[in-house]
Amino acid sequence: MEIQHFSHHHPLKLKPVDPSRIYGINCSACGRSCLDLVYSCRECADFHLHKSCAELPPKITHHPFHPFHPLPLVFSGARYACCGCGQWDSKLLYWCRECNFTLSPDCALEPTSKYEFVGEGKIQYFLHKHPLALMEVDDDDICSACKKCCSSESYSCQHCPSFRIHKSCAGQLPRAIQHFSHPQHPLILRAKDSVFDRPCVACQRSDNVLTYRCSMCRIEMDPECALMPTKHLI
């Protein structure tokens, strides 16, 4: 099977990776090792694409995080912070040049995904680097999302004692909202970070762990202020 990919001037043929070269072939899009099926160029020995990378849509329109302009897929060597989740990545991104708005392929294609089960009763929450375990907590423990007491089972991090989140908050906090005070852009649920740290524009509180952010306008709202009342996008 052959395709003509927009990123390369020669046809690419789908084939399994040679087991003898399994650690010597990297994807020209995402930079990661190719371990299974790969699209390769017969004429350019060093050009390969994961099947999953090659089949990414070349452009996304009307994305709920950035509905005003299309987001073309770009191969770039520069590191960037995804406006959807805040994670740093390199090379492969969806990018609106006009707004300098960036999304990783995961956030661009699965904008409603918030966590996945990783075994042993744990989840990997999209805004925290360590797995979270469901456990009983003390009444004076505070949810990192809504800042209310964790009076029932909550997900907690064994590595970061201060991070815990209600089971309901982990599943029900919307990934993006359209807030009446900022109608020009959606506010996207993010984790606070040292690079971009602003107090909530509504209450001026800055101790929240999670925030709703517009990266283009550089404003933030804590979840409690952002969600009363407003329109949920996803």
For residue 29, what are the CA distances in angstroms to 10, 40, 53, 55, 126? 15, 12, 7, 11, 23
CATH fold, domain 59-109, is Wheat Germ Agglutinin (Isolectin 2); domain 1 (3.30.60)
The DSSP 8-state label assigned to residue 107 in this structure reads H
> Per residue in 89-131, pLDDT tens?
767 889 999 888 999 888 888 877 787 888 777 888 888 889 9
pLDDT score recorded for residue 61: 93
| pTM of this structure | 0.74
Alpha helices in the chain (DSSP H): 51-54, 105-109, 167-172, 223-226
> Per residue in 144-162, pLDDT tens?
887 788 766 788 888 888 8
- Give the domain ranges of the chain: 2-54, 59-109, 115-172, 176-232
Contacts for 40 with CB less than 8 Å, ≥ 6 apart: 12, 13, 15, 47, 48, 49
> Per residue in 32-67, pLDDT tens?
888 888 899 888 888 888 888 888 999 999 998 999
CB 125 within 8 A of CB 172: no
